[in-house]
């Protein structure tokens, strides 16, 4: 029973780190990467679909993304979706190929993005601590019901704290790597 609680807590903490990683991919650095457009949706014959399902997205060079729609008729809806997105990008169309040139980030913009990254990391830490709190309350409930001893409770709480510390360290490592990547010119 204790092992189940520990295992569940570790899995939920790992999911928090996965979510953090996904959020980090949405925040652009100076480089063009197809994952920047992951959250952009396009009107595809009446239904909203992710851009990656309506077109091929590639990185032409360090600052240019190339989008090739699967169908010629999708060029205009894709352009419209890119203009509406919160990325502030200007698509350039040449026939059926759409190119997006990412402007270089200014120092001020980099600092703003670092603040956003730190806020995302803090949210992940809070989520991990919430999982720890839930696991500890589950253990205390087991102890109240007499299913585990007080010694087992203390040992389990220490194990959960170790798991929490490991996951918070992973968040800190990902944050440091992302900050370094963003501040590199």
Domain borders along the chain are 2-26+106-183, 34-101
The confidence band for 55, taking pLDDT boundaries of 50, 70 and 90, is confident
- Average pLDDT, integer, range 37-49: 82
Residue 15, φ and ψ in degrees, nearest 5: -65, -35
- Average pLDDT, integer, range 90-111: 82
The tokens of 173 are what? 């490592």
d(CA 89, CA 74) in angstroms, rounded, equals: 18
Distance from the Cα of residue 158 to its chain's centroid: 29
- Average pLDDT, integer, range 101-105: 78
Query: Are residues 184 and 62 in contact, defined by beta-carbon separation less than 8 angstroms?
Result: no
The tokens of 167 are what? 């996951």
- Average pLDDT, integer, range 104-117: 82
Give me the pLDDT at residue 29, please: 65
**Is the domain covering 2-26+106-183 a CATH 1.10.132.20 domain?**
yes
Report the topology of domain 34-101. Gyrase A; domain 2 (3.30.1360)
């Amino acid at each position: 029973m204790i092992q189940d609680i520990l295992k569940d807590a570790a899995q939920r903490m790992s999911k928090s780190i996965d979510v953090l990683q996904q959020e980090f991919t949405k925040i652009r650095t100076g480089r063009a990467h197809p994952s920047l457009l992951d959250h952009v949706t396009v009107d595809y014959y009446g239904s909203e679909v992710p851009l990656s399902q309506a077109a091929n997205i590639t990185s032409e060079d360090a600052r240019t993304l190339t989008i090739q729609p699967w169908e010629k008729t999708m060029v205009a809806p894709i352009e419209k979706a890119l203009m509406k997105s919160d990325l502030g990008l200007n698509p350039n169309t040449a026939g059926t190929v759409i190119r997006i040139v990412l402007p270089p980030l200014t120092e001020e913009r980099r600092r703003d993005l670092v603040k956003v990254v730190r806020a995302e990391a803090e949210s992940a830490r809070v989520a991990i601590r919430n999982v720890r709190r839930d696991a500890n309350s589950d253990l205390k409930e087991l102890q109240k019901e007499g299913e585990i001893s007080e010694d087992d409770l203390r040992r389990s709480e220490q194990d959960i704290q170790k798991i929490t510390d490991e996951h918070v360290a992973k968040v800190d490592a990902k944050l440091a790597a992302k900050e370094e990547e963003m501040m590199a010119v």
